[in-house]
Amino acid sequence: MKKFLVVSDLHIPTRNSDVPEIILNLAKEVDGIIGLGDYVSMDVVGLFKGLTVFHGVHGNMDFPDVKDFLPFNKLMVIENVKVGLCHGWGPPWGIEERILETFDERPDVILFGHTHYSADKTIGGVRYLNPGATEKGGSFGILTLDGGKVVFEIKRCP
């Protein structure tokens, strides 16, 4: 069994000043952090990498150094589940189909951000999970993968 914190759209320092305290505390209790872009600053990526295992992709609002360091999308196999990561872009309608087209191999689950709204839906056999915007009053996700079973919980940031 593997458990991950899933975060997106932190927008530090352009929209928010720092990572919510709840994320820093929970990072000690999970197997890693999955970041879905729009950290903005490389400092946030460095912080996450220093806390625990970090898997991430860049977003459309990230500074150039973040975009150089992190890929646009990523496919991983965790606990027998093909997990795709991609921030997303453009309007919210049709975002799932646009993201799916970026993968050469079809994921079982796609984690994405960009919309600032949490989501958990299945389209065409692919489960799409969005933690929402990880900021004060926003949300984040807890993803648990266990031998092919996927559990995704949306949690609120105080």
What is the reported pLDDT for 128?
Answer: 98
Exposure pattern of 148-157 as b/e (b: 16+ CB <10 Å)? eebebebbeb
Query: In this structure, what CATH number is given to the domain that contains residue 52?
Result: 3.60.21.10
Using pLDDT thresholds of 50, 70 and 90, give the confidence band for residue 109: very high
Which residues have a Cβ under 8 Å from the Cβ of 32 and sit 6 or more positions away?
Answer: 2, 4, 5, 52, 53, 54, 55
What is the reported pLDDT for 142?
Answer: 98
* E strand map for the chain: 2-7, 32-35, 54-56, 73-78, 81-86, 109-111, 118-123, 126-131, 139-146, 149-156
| Total of domains in the chain | 1
In Å, the largest CA–CA distance within the chain is 39
What is the reported pLDDT for 150?
Answer: 97
- Whole-prediction pTM: 0.96
Residue 131 and residue 113 in contact, taking contact as beta carbons nearer than 8 Å: yes
Structural domain span for residue 27 = 2-156
Using pLDDT thresholds of 50, 70 and 90, give the confidence band for residue 44: very high
Mean local confidence (pLDDT), 67-86: 97
What is the reported pLDDT for 141?
Answer: 98
Alpha-carbon distances of 148 from 1, 3, 58, rounded to whole Å = 10, 13, 26
Site of tokens 């860049």: 58
Query: What token pair was written down for 119?
Result: 């989501």
